[in-house]
Every structure is written in C-alpha cells, then in structure tokens.
Amino acid sequence: MTMNDGDSSPDPFRSPRARARGRPRDWDDKTAQNTIKSLDRAMEVFEHLSTLPGATLSALAEDLGQSPATVYRILVTLEGRGLVEFDQGAQVWHVGARAFVIGARYLRRTSLVDRARPVLRQLMEATGETANLGVARDMNVLFVGQVETHATIRAFFPPGTLSPMHSSGIGKALLAQMSDDRLSRLFATAPLDQFTPKTLTEPTALRADLEATRERGYAIDDEEKNEGMRCIAAPIFDLSGGAIAGLSVSGPVSRVSTTETERLAASVVRAADDLSAAMGYQF
C-alpha cells in the first residue's frame, strides 16, 4: 500500500498490476494461515537456547513444553546451518558461531553502531571504565556495542546481552524520556523483578528515580542489577528528538564511587551529546 498525502487517485506512472516488491497481496494479514508453524517452533527453540549458557536436549524440551524428538530435529537442522553447536563431551547444546555472523550483519545496518564506536573508545579512555551502547527492546536493554576497560576488574556486557530496563543505567536513562502513559503501560505488562536489595521494584519509587534522572540529565544504576557494580548512563537522541539509545560507563563501586559520580557523569553526558549530534540531533 502506498501513501500519497490523501490523494486516492491511481498513480499514472504505476502499473495497475504492480505492488511493492517482496510483499505478497496478503502482506498485512498476520493470522495463523500465514505463519509457518514449524519455523515458529524452531525459532522458539533457538531464541530460548540463546538466553542460556548451554542446555541439554531434555532441559530444552521441558522448558518449552515440546517433545524431545521435535526439539532434537530442530536442533539438528539448526546445527546444519551453524546456528547451534553440540558439545559431545558435556552433551550440551549451545548457540553457534553462525548466529554471531548474522547478528553482526544486523549491527552493520545501523549507522548508530558505526558512529558510536569512536565515541565509546574515547569515553573508555576518558573515564578508565567500560563504555556501553544499548537500545530498548520491550522492557529490556539490548547491548549493541562495548569498549572494555583495561582494568582487571570490569563490567562485561557483550553485544546481544539483554538486561531489564528498570535495573539498568541505560534502561533508566531511556525510561526517563518516556511519557507517563507509556510508562504506565510498560509497568502494567512487565514485572519489576528484584535482583539485589537496591533494585527499584515499586513503580512509585522507580518513577521518582526517573524524575531525578530527567532533572540531572543522567541515570545511575546503583548496584541495582549486580551487587558491587555501578553504572552511569545518558540518552542518545536522533534528528526527530527521540531517544533512540543510551550510552554508559560501568564498573566496580570502588572506582565508580559516589565521590566520582559527577566527574564520570560529565564525561558520559558529553559523549552522549556528541553521538546525538552525529545522529542529527539539534540542541
């Protein structure tokens, strides 16, 4: 379907039989008749395995409520494509190297990741801490870029890692840019799980923290996901003014201390502003 600013007359330069390439006539029909059930089951197995450090066939089948025979056929098929691998000694299945290759192709699609790379490097060098880039995926942060510190003790969020937004510095930086209505919808559908004694699990307390985040211009994950680790994050905006990602530094509380917060935050906000400008944001 094409849009032409309200003019419903046919396009004189377009063949009446033409339609968008790659889109069948029932493009907008997402009902079960247009879903390949076996492929959907395979993707369910693959996605679940990707969240685990490894799993046995029986554990996967039990987790997903599918028969071991069905899961085995799916795994063998995926193995043939290099998307999963089998550890013969431990009798455990893992995500395969091919999955990383495909994921890397996704990352190359977006100029955000490319433009963030030098900014992340400079931020790590300026602060001495691991610099991270993440985007929102439902109520999670998907980490899409990272430059690690050279320090022995450091935070590590490899690209592809998911972390709940309410307990993440980047997540809270992005949540702080959302409207009250959108926050209410998110809080109604996603549980605010507790990971440490400092995790904010009550919407009222989280909203207060998000308000403070908006006022100062950066978010703080104060051991809310992992005890002993602190994170400082700021949002990244695009040409339209929308918050499209977040940038952060993270490290042990011994280095990312309360006395160092303002100094580190200044570097994080400056880096986020630089990347926002590179994405077309007008200050």
What pLDDT sits at residue 104?
73
Average pLDDT, the chain: 86
* CA separation for the pair 246, 212 (Å, rounded): 17
* Overall pTM > 0.95: no
pLDDT at position 157 = 74
Confidence (pLDDT) at 156: 73
Q: How far is CA 211 from CA 192, 214, 215, 239, in A?
A: 18, 5, 6, 24
**Per-residue 3-state assignment (H helix, E strand, C coil) for the chain:** CCCCCCCCCCCCCCCCCCCCCCCCCCCCCCCHHHCCHHHHHHHHHHHHHHCCCCECHHHHHHHHCCCHHHHHHHHHHHHHCCCEEEECCCCEEEECHHHHHHHHHHHHHCHHHHHHHHHHHHHHHHHCCEEEEEEEECCEEEEEEEECCCCCCCCCCCCCCEEEHHHCHHHHHHHCCCCHHHHHHHHHHCCCCCCCCCCCCCHHHHHHHHHHHHHHCCEEEECCCCCCEEEEEEEEECCCCCEEEEEEEEEECCCCCCCCHHHHHHHHHHHHHHHHHHCCCCC
Mean pLDDT value across residues 52-71: 94
Order of strands across the sheet with 229-237? 162-164, 140-147, 130-137, 243-252, 229-237, 219-222
* Ordered domains of the chain (ranges, CATH): 32-100 (1.10.10.10), 110-278 (3.30.450.40)
Q: What is the pLDDT of residues 5-55, one digit of tens each?
A: 344 444 433 433 444 444 555 545 555 566 789 999 999 999 999 989 999
Position 108 scores a pLDDT of: 60
Categorize the per-residue pLDDT at 151 as very low, low, confident or very high, splitting at 50, 70 and 90. Answer: confident
Residue 75 has pLDDT above 70, yes or no: yes
Residue 102 has pLDDT above 90, yes or no: no
Averaged pLDDT, 233-242: 93
Tell me the per-residue pLDDT of 121-131, one tens digit each, with 9 for 90 and over.
Answer: 999 999 999 99
